[in-house]
Amino acid sequence: MPEEVKAQIAGVVFQVVARPGDKVGAGDPIVVLESMKMEIPVEAPRNGTVAEIRAREGQTVQEGDTVALLE
């Protein structure tokens, strides 16, 4: 079952780094949020494969929103 990767802070999606099918390691950035003029990476919680990206650049997300699914 895929694991949800959630935004840890409210902000605007500045960059989508990973794409579906990409292999990522624990701590690798999946998306980068911009909040209070700072860039904050949302990192993979574990090694896996990106199943789905649920955020797009320019989208506003809230703390706790799912930005990706990791298999």
Annotated domain spans of the chain? 3-70
The matching CATH number, chosen from 2.40.50.100, 3.40.50.300, 1.20.120.420, 1.20.1260.10, for 3-70 is 2.40.50.100
pLDDT score at 1: 84
CA distance 69 to 50: 6
Alpha-carbon dihedral angle through residues 64, 57, 37, 42, given to the nearest 10 degrees:
40
- Write the pLDDT tens digit of every residue in 2-56: 999 999 999 999 999 999 999 999 999 999 999 999 999 999 999 999 999 999 9
Q: Please tell me the distance from the alpha carbon of residue 60 to that of residue 42, in angstroms, as a whole number.
A: 14
Cα separation, 57 vs 67, in Å, equals: 11
User: In terms of DSSP bridges, do strands 48-53 and 66-70 run parallel, antiparallel, or are they unpaired?
Assistant: antiparallel
pTM of the model: 0.92
